[in-house]
Amino acid sequence: MGVAVEIDGLTKSFGAQTVWSDVSFTLPAGEISVLLGPSGTGKSVFLKTLVGLFRPDRGTIHIDGEEITSLHERELYRVRRRLGVLFQDGALFGSMNLYDNIAFPLREHTRKTEAEIRAIVNDRLDLVGMSGDGEKFPGEISGGMRKRAGLARALVLDPELILCDEPDSGLDPVRTAFLGELIAELNRTTGATFLIVTHDINTAKTLPDHIGMLYLRRLVAFAPREEILASDDPVLRQFLAADMDGPIGMAEEKDAVGNGKGETLPEEQYRGEHREDA
């Protein structure tokens, strides 16, 4: 079953650069949430913070009730065992075939026998439509196959929380739809909680139960999908309509100071109204 993730007052900076601050929302257990936002707004940093790869400056993250930002590396290791992570490029080891890549977390985190491992790896390969591909190497397969293999690897430890960073980037529309359906099916069968970072508007409009959006170093919104899709918020409307006109400019640096047309849009002028905790 999936776990809830409660994020409260989370702030992350690199040196003088604040990536986002005071982010608070709850990922509901067993549901699919999508995180949107213009490039560079810190979506990947957010996922990495959730798995403890970055420590936030402030704020807390409770995964299934356990606060993780103050855990030591060893305790984080235990928490990570409950998570499945799919990074942008699948993050497969190029020197290992797909079978060994997918077996890796089992060999690392469990004492299962090779026979048990084989049964699990073959099951997960089957689940992502890649039975029979275990002998192939990451360099020999397409980007879409690498993503599916990455997803198979993310699933071997029966995770209760699955984080996917742009699982659909670089995929054609048919494969994007296929991957979305696969995620929905996994959510139905495993009950795991999903958080997916995507730029694919169609995925955002069809797949998740909830949608969140980062913009100008803040969480603009986190709410049920239908509420977000019906929102009058100019940032959400522009983003979801892929419209060039609106507060979002061409570059994140411009967004920080204006609307890309020379008109000033102070950060203070824009405050989200959809935060669940508002």
Is 41 an interacting residue with respect to ligand ATP (CB under 6 A)? yes
Is 213 an interacting residue with respect to ligand ATP (CB under 6 A)? no
What backbone torsions phi and psi does residue 11 show, to the nearest 5 degrees? -135, 135
Among 9, 14, 77, 172, binds ligand ATP (CB under 6 A): 14
We find the least distance from the C-beta atom of residue 266 to ligand ATP, in angstroms, to be 20
| Nearer residue to ligand ATP within complex by CB, 102 or 196 | 196
We find the least distance from the C-beta atom of residue 123 to ligand ATP, in angstroms, to be 31
Among 2, 3, 27, 42, binds ligand ATP (CB under 6 A): 42
Which 44-63 positions form the footprint of ligand ATP (CB under 6 A)?
44-45
Q: Using the rule CB under 6 A, give the single segment among 41-49, 68-76, 152-160, 180-188 that binds ligand ATP.
A: 41-49
Q: Using the rule CB under 6 A, give the single segment among 37-45, 139-147, 204-212, 217-225 that binds ligand ATP.
A: 37-45
| Nearer residue to ligand ATP within complex by CB, 133 or 165 | 165
Q: Dmax over Cα atoms in the chain, in whole Å? A: 64
Among 40, 143, 170, 246, binds ligand ATP (CB under 6 A): 40
Is 37 an interacting residue with respect to ligand ATP (CB under 6 A)? yes
Of the candidates 149, 158, 136, 176, the residue with the CA atom closest to the CA atom of residue 2: 158
What is the rounded (10 degree) CA torsion for 183, 202, 259, 46? 0
Is 16 an interacting residue with respect to ligand ATP (CB under 6 A)? no
| Nearer residue to ligand ATP within complex by CB, 102 or 228 | 228
We find the least distance from the C-beta atom of residue 48 to ligand ATP, in angstroms, to be 8
Is 176 an interacting residue with respect to ligand ATP (CB under 6 A)? no
Q: Using the rule CB under 6 A, give the single segment among 21-29, 39-47, 243-251, 263-271 that binds ligand ATP.
A: 39-47
Binding site for ligand ATP (CB under 6 A): 14, 19, 37, 39-45
